[in-house]
Chain A
């Protein structure tokens, strides 16, 4: 069994990397794979609260790297979803607490035990990003349909290409199909035209993302548009061809448009 190490990146901050890491990891685990989500945002620990595991932290990734514990001791098993695990990062350290080689070693050790290793990456293009991405084979690039986020995504894609990550695939998050239809938001096809990269998912702007993060439950535990979208992404990562819904059509907002919007993504 060949493990896959996938880094979740964006360039611009706040576009949904942590949300994506948590929920794609959970969806992959629900499909039966053994998955570990690693918080690679050293100094700004977030993945633990989004996944609702903050009260169970004993050791962190940085403790393991510094030799204060074994790597397996920093792993938290999610009691709600079988096969789902998480490694928190340190909150009190800075980005340079970890080197690229140390991240490569961590990822290689995790390959022995997990089918998927998902790494939540910090925003930006500096050391924090380079460390988090160092040990990954593949990348997911998250953007929102906004000018600044798409521009930064292009920069990150260039860097990931120069680091030989492959495949590098795009998630367009927080799409509001009503705005796209009015011509007031970039559509997925616009973003793809500009970035010229493969698409792996479209996630609607959905209040369920915020309410589930509020209470520390995984989106995949409920039925919502966003949870459906993250499950589809997990399927596509696993090689199952799930069709994309067309959220861009500025015509056809009739009854079929409504139905698509309800079941889509």
Chain B
């Protein structure tokens, strides 16, 4: 171990760069856990949301309704929940939104 690193150890500098502080870990974990607690979207609401999103998308594109994936995903790096949808598009409608 070099003189410099011993020196900075002595004064508690340099910890930050080498280890993640446990308080930072605590804050990140809490942010995600609380976001999840607050979201608390029931499966019923998820299903209604899926139905409404499909209805809107169908005005613009022809979609494969059986293979739609809609999930709440936990992005711990960003510290929030994301609503992630994968919607297979068969064809773009020429009418562009007009029913």
Contact = CB atoms under 8 A, between A and B. Distances in A.
A185 B38 CA distance: 24
B59 interface: no
B27 A194 contact: yes
B24 A147 contact: no
B42 interface: no
A183 B21 contact: yes
Contact of B34 (A151, A180, A184, A185): A151
Interface in A159-181: 180
B38 A158 contact: yes
A154 interface: yes
A113 to B, nearest CB: 40
A184 B31 CA distance: 17
Interface string B20-53: 0111101101110110011000000000000000
B27 A193 contact: yes
Nearest to B33: A151
A182 B16 CA distance: 9
A155 interface: yes
A194 B34 contact: yes
Q: Which of B15, B16, B21, B30 has the most CB of A within 10 A?
A: B30
B16 A183 contact: yes
Interface string B63-89: 000000000000000000000000000
Contacts of A151: 30, 33-34, 37
Contact of A180 (B12, B23, B33): B23
Contacts, number: 44
A186 B33 contact: no
Q: What is the predominant secondary structure among interface residues of chain A facing chain B?
A: helix
Contacts of B27: 186, 190, 193-194
Contacts of A180: 23
A150 interface: yes
B30 A150 contact: yes
Contacts of B22: 183-184
Nearest to B25: A147
Given A151-B37, A155-B37, A185 B23 contact: yes
A154 B31 CA distance: 11
B30 A147 contact: yes
Contacts of A190: 23, 26-27
A16 interface: no
A187 interface: yes
B43 to A, nearest CB: 21
Given A147-B30, A150-B30, A194-B31, A184 B23 contact: yes
Given A147-B30, A186-B27, 13 more contacts: A146-B26, A147-B26, A151-B34, A154-B38, A182-B21, A183-B23, A186-B26, A190-B26, A190-B27, A194-B27, A194-B30, A194-B34, A195-B34
Interface of B: 12, 15-16, 21-24, 26-27, 29-31, 33-34, 37-38
11 contacts: A147-B29, A151-B30, A151-B34, A183-B21, A183-B24, A184-B21, A186-B26, A186-B30, A190-B23, A190-B26, A190-B27
Interface of A: 146-147, 150-151, 154-155, 158, 180, 182-187, 190, 193-195
